């Protein structure tokens, strides 16, 4: 099969981890006779440096015409003082919304053999970590009305968290469907004791629940969820939540599994098109040192292959990762090893 992939390497560790992901895809292409036609596309800080815009129109057009988008990470201190509408992160948000990718699936799974890397106590992780965060990705406070100004000589700024029932219904449906193919337990994480928007989420999810009688739906305030995630992550199966809470708790989830370098994500919209990216950021502190853990981008390619219908190839990479973790050699520093980024990837390539 031939696949057109738009590749946005981005900033910081982005380029070096994406290169590792592409090595893995190359090996898969050879083995399964696929062709990944990769087109490098500018996005984030790298795009600002060349064009002045974090997401040039041409980049969005190439992504739209592709079968999938693979993205490293965007942002970094170099662009910190740019006005907020032109920052690298705005490019990523524009990409998500321009492609209509309203669902962000962030699976948090712990590999048995590297559980010592988790900062949680052994008796807590012993029970297993295997849940998925279904994050709403194109609405809420990251896209709401915002303003910075001065009123009566006093500076102010605000950002609006607004959702309509249709936005909640479509992400809610995805979350129930995700629960149906997992353990049928769905937790909506919100702040309904304070926020009106959370109350609307509950109303819409309660209505949807009637269509999914097998799914056990519960609600949890986000502050409690942050605590429960470290107290007993095994209680979660599927978490559905808004854009900002999903951003926050998915970083927490990744650390529970051992390292922020582990978790992939798929941003999708209901057809088989998607954008695949690690949940971690551009990690400027370790960029260019060849020490970043490329697991998240490799796992993101696994998610991509699954959406492209290539289950066997996806499973091949996943099994290779498991073998490398089990062997415990050539792991990167975040997992307690001292391998470089490419040494780790080479180890994976051996098993593909
Ligand atoms: C993420 C990142 C992004 C987000 C940033 C870079 C805009 O933190 O994908 O989690 O907040 O969504
Ligand atoms: Mg984030």
- Residue among 167, 217, 227 at smallest CA distance from 197: 167
- Cβ–ligand 1 contact at 89 (below 6 Å): yes
250 Cα: distance to centroid of ligand 2 (angstroms): 7
pLDDT surpassing 90 at residue 147: yes
- What's the average model confidence in pLDDT over 29-55? 97
Specify which residues 10 forms β-bridges with. Answer: 73
> In the prediction, which pLDDT does 217 show?
98
Calculate the average pLDDT of the chain. Answer: 97
- What's the average model confidence in pLDDT over 17-28? 98
pLDDT surpassing 90 at residue 240: yes
Q: What is d(CA 57, CA 300) in angstroms, rounded to the nearest whole number?
A: 25
What tokens appear for 237 in the block? 């199966």
Q: Which residues are catalytic?
A: 142, 191, 223, 247, 251
Give start and end residues of each alpha helix (H) in the chain. Answer: 14-32, 45-51, 57-64, 88-98, 122-125, 165-180, 196-209, 222-231, 243-256, 295-307, 311-327, 341-350
Rg (CA), the chain: 20
Distance between start and end Cα atoms, the chain: 18
Instruction: For the chain, give the number of residues.
Output: 352
> pLDDT grade, residue 29 (50/70/90)?
very high
> pLDDT grade, residue 238 (50/70/90)?
very high
Least confident of 33-37, 104-108, 110-114, 135-139: 110-114
> In the prediction, which pLDDT does 248 show?
97
Burial class of residue 239 (count of CB atoms within 10 Å of its CB; 0-12, 13-18, 19+): buried
> pLDDT grade, residue 113 (50/70/90)?
confident
> In the prediction, which pLDDT does 50 show?
97
Q: What is d(CA 53, CA 45) in angstroms, rounded to the nearest whole number?
A: 8
> In the prediction, which pLDDT does 173 show?
98
- Cβ–ligand 1 contact at 136 (below 6 Å): no
- What's the average model confidence in pLDDT over 222-247? 98
> In the prediction, which pLDDT does 125 show?
94
247 Cα: distance to centroid of ligand 1 (angstroms): 6
What tokens appear for 230 in the block? 């470290």
- Report the atom number in ligand 1 closest to the C-alpha of 265: 9
pLDDT surpassing 90 at residue 114: no
**Of all protein residues, whose CA lies closest to atom 5 belonging to ligand 1?**
89
What tokens appear for 144 in the block? 């709401």
> In the prediction, which pLDDT does 143 show?
98
pLDDT surpassing 90 at residue 84: no
Cβ atoms within 10 Å of 319's Cβ, excluding its own: 12
Express each pLDDT in 255-298 by its tens digit. 999 889 999 999 999 898 999 999 999 999 999 999 999 999 99
Specify which residues 75 forms β-bridges with. Answer: none
- What's the average model confidence in pLDDT over 162-174? 98
> In the prediction, which pLDDT does 213 show?
98
- Residue among 7, 2, 6 at smallest CA distance from 32: 2
pLDDT surpassing 90 at residue 106: yes
> In the prediction, which pLDDT does 37 show?
98
> In the prediction, which pLDDT does 305 show?
97
Q: What is d(CA 294, CA 320) in angstroms, rounded to the nearest whole number?
A: 14
Residue 13 DSSP code: T
Q: What is d(CA 249, CA 246) in angstroms, rounded to the nearest whole number?
A: 5
327 Cα: distance to centroid of ligand 2 (angstroms): 30
- Cβ–ligand 1 contact at 92 (below 6 Å): yes
> In the prediction, which pLDDT does 111 show?
87
Express each pLDDT in 184-214 by its tens digit. 999 999 999 999 999 999 999 999 999 999 9
Degrees, nearest 5: CA angle 93-95-96? 65
């Amino acid at each position: 099969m031939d696949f057109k992939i738009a590749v946005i390497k981005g900033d910081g560790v982005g380029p070096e981890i994406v290169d590792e992901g592409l090595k893995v895809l190359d090996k898969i292409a050879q083995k399964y006779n696929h062709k990944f036609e990769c087109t490098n596309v500018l996005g984030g800080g790298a795009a600002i440096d060349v064009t002045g815009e974090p997401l040039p129109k041409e980049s969005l057009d190439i992504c739209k015409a592709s079968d999938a988008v693979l993205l490293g990470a965007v942002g970094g201190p170099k662009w910190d003082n740019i006005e907020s509408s032109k920052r690298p992160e705005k490019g990523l948000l524009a990409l998500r919304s321009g492609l209509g990718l309203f669902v962000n699936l962030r699976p948090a799974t712990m590999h048995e053999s590297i559980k010592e890397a988790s900062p949680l106590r052994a008796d807590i992780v012993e029970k297993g970590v295997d849940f998925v965060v279904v994050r709403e990705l194109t609405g809420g406070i990251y896209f709401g009305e915002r303003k910075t100004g001065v009123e009566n000589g006093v500076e102010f700024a605000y950002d609006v968290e607004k959702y309509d029932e249709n936005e909640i219904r479509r992400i809610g449906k995805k979350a129930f469907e995700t629960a149906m193919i997992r353990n049928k337990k769905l937790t909506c994480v919100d702040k309904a004791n304070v926020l009106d928007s959370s109350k609307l989420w509950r109303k819409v999810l309660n209505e949807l629940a009637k269509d999914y009688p097998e799914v056990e739906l519960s609600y949890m305030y986000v502050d409690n969820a942050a605590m429960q995630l470290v107290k007993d992550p095994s209680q979660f199966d599927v978490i559905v939540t808004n854009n900002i809470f999903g951003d926050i708790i998915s970083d927490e989830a990744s650390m529970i599994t051992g390292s922020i370098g582990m978790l992939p994500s798929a941003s999708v919209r209901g057809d088989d098109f998607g954008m695949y990216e690690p949940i971690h950021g551009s990690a400027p502190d370790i960029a260019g040192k060849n020490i970043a853990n490329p697991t998240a981008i490799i796992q993101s390619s696994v998610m991509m292959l699954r959406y492209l219908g290539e289950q066997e190839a996806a499973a091949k990479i996943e099994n290779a990762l498991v073998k490398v973790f089990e062997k415990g050699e050539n792991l990167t520093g975040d997992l307690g090893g001292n391998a470089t980024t490419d040494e780790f990837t080479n180890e994976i390539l051996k098993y593909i």
